[in-house]
Structure 1
Amino acid sequence: MAGNRQLSMDLLLVVGFVLITNIFILVPVLSDSFLRTYLGIILVLFLPGYALTVALFPAKKDLDGIERTAISFGLSISIAPLLGLGLNYSSWGIREIPLLTEFSIFTLLICAVAHYRRGLLPETEVFGVSFKRCYLSMKARVFEKPESKTDKVIAFILALSILASMGSLVYIIGNSKEGEHFTEFYILGNNSTIGDYPTEFVPGEKGTVIVGVINHEYRPMDYTIDVRLENRLLLESKKQISLEHNMSWEKPVTFTPPLEGKNMKLEFLLFNESEKTTPYRNLHLWINVTEEA
């Protein structure tokens, strides 16, 4: 029974890699480490595909080690855009933490499916990772005479392609350049979703929105957030924040419209440390403040 069998060593390693990657990305002390990038790439480009390969082919006879490795890379490359597309149409958007959460949950769920499917097989038929066996299998495939010359050529090209892909990936990481310098600035309405913003008020009524800032400037930044109604500053809503690179700030901002009127422009302005008079980013809502909201 699946429930009575311990998690296999390879699936334990996958789960361990997922947890370690989350720690290195989420813990501020570790998030600046170079390991953060490498672990993130493994999480995206190998682990989901490997877990799915184990779930689809739990028996030893299904595939050998080299084929499993190649299929794991291929499936991961196919899975990544699908998961990203799903986030793109969600309220979270394609951002670091939602991506990390999605890839982690997907990989762990598929690991559970793989463990269950392995549990349905006799233990002697279950595929397991043995470094010695993998080495001997690769040696036999490359250096010993296979069943045909075609099999030998295919095995050699497959192994060479995997090594070339991994080498290229390491080179790109090691020689990566800084991307575009920018800051994300957004507002969310009720239930932390895009839309459903407070727009109808009676005099003296308070409104609240969630304001978020994410620093992608590749250096620490100081920001100031102003809220203005018809160009009138609402001091109660003024915020000053400091963020390291790739860090985010998301908090509720409460304001009380001091004017009455219809179709008034409520602005949320983000200033950076180098420009105090011209907004670096700006957002706005159109609100009504009347006796009968």
Structure 2
Amino acid sequence: MAGNQKFPSDLLLVAGLVILADIFVLIPVLSGSIIRTAFGLPLVLFLPGYALIAMLFPEKSGLEGMERIALSVAMSVAVVPLIGLVLNYTPWGIRETPLLASLSAFTLLLSAVAYARRRQLPADRTFEVPALSLIAGVLEKPKSKTEKTLRIILALSFLVLIGTGVYITQVPQEREPFTKFYILGPDRMAENYTTEYIQGESGTYIIGITNNEYRTMDYTVEVRLENESLLLPENLQHIRLAHNTTLEEPLEITPSIEGKNMQLEFLLFNETEKKVPSRDLRLWINVTKEG
């Protein structure tokens, strides 16, 4: 009779691994541990494909255990780049958190659909994963050339998986140090900058600095209008930022001179070179008399 099966242990395990991967990636205290990689790699290289195969083949007769495992790896390798391609055309882009959320949602959704499909089947036809029979199936002699080929593919896939994990955890990942310097409009977006002034009016900009230099850095901001330095608040003249820290500070500017297409420069100096700016951003503004 359909609909009376207990929750499949394999789908429950898939959901549990997805949640654990999310926890160890998103929580800062845990994200630096090796366990993050141990849970993250299956989420990329196995779990999405397994959920997809479980949804497509809910019956025992659909696929053998070895075929399911091999196809799960292959489908994951195919699905993950497609999800990344879709994210590339969204406002979130291909970043860690959006990719993690997309993979997790994809895997959990397909697992739920797989569970629903299995519930529609009689218990004797529903696919399940008894651990002992699965181990025995892996160890027994292949029954056909196809099964032998699948086992070879599976073995190579797991070797790649293990090798990737060892490389990521043991080999230091050297990255180029850099500082990010940017300005935002008053609504904290990279648009709607104040460029049209009536003399005496003020405009607000958001100064942004991100330190990715792998050490604490000292910065100084200078703003020039037509090569004349403007007076800035103290908190922008002496800035100290730890690595992987972002500072965003509002800056109100009141142009004191009238003119068209005047150059408003935002300059960032660091502790190593205090005469030549390390970053230089520019806007062109118009200032007119009232009336």
Normalised to the residue count of structure 1, the TM-score between the two structures is 0.76
Q: 1:228 aligns with which of 223, 240, 252?
A: 223
User: Is there any run of 5+ residues in structure 1 with no aligned partner, and where?
Assistant: none
Partner Cα separation in structure 1 for residue 264 and residue 2 of structure 2 = 58
What residue number does 1:207 align with?
Answer: 204
1:263 corresponds to which letter in structure 2? N
Distance 1:136 1:213, change over 3 A: same
What residue number does 1:255 align with?
Answer: 251
Q: 2:175 aligns with which of 180, 202, 223?
A: 180
Partner Cα separation in structure 2 for residue 268 and residue 81 of structure 1 = 39
1:29 is paired with a residue whose SS is helix
Larger Rg: 2
Is contact 2:18-2:43 (8 Å) kept? yes
What residue number does 1:82 align with?
Answer: 82
Q: Do structure 1's residue 71 and structure 2's residue 57 form an aligned pair?
A: no
Question: Could you report, residue by residue, the CA deviation over 1:54-76 in whole angstroms, capped at 9, with x for unpaired residues?
Answer: 22222222112222222122122
What residue number does 2:60 align with?
Answer: 60
> Bigger shift: 41-50 or 176-185?
176-185
Higher RCO (C-alpha 8 Å, min separation 6): 2
1:122 is paired with a residue whose SS is coil
Distance 1:240 1:159, change over 3 A: same
Question: Could you report, residue by residue, the CA deviation over 1:214-246 in whole angstroms, capped at 9, with x for unpaired residues?
Answer: 63x4x34336473625353562472836344xx
Partner Cα separation in structure 1 for residue 21 and residue 187 of structure 2 = 29
Matches within 5 A, 1:19-58: 19-58=19-58
> Bigger shift: 24-33 or 267-276?
267-276
Matches within 5 A, 1:118-267: 118-140=118-140, 143=141, 146=143, 148=144, 150-151=145-146, 153-183=148-178, 185=180, 186=182, 195-202=191-198, 203-209=200-206, 211=208, 213=210, 215=212, 217=213, 219-222=214-217, 224=219, 226=221, 228-230=223-225, 232-233=229-230, 235-236=232-233, 238=236, 240=239, 242-244=241-243, 247=244, 249=246, 251=248, 253-259=249-255, 261-267=259-265
Distance 1:226 1:164, change over 3 A: same
Partner Cα separation in structure 1 for residue 217 and residue 77 of structure 2 = 38
Partner Cα separation in structure 2 for residue 59 and residue 250 of structure 1 = 55
> Bigger shift: 94-103 or 234-243?
234-243
2:62 corresponds to which letter in structure 1? D
Alpha-carbon offset, residue 135 of structure 1: 0.3
Identity of aligned residues (%): 40
Partner Cα separation in structure 2 for residue 190 and residue 85 of structure 1 = 32
Distance 1:90 1:278, change over 3 A: farther
User: Is there any run of 5+ residues in structure 2 with no aligned partner, and where?
Assistant: none
Distance 1:92 1:166, change over 3 A: closer
Is contact 1:66-1:138 (8 Å) kept? yes
Alignment size in residue pairs? 283
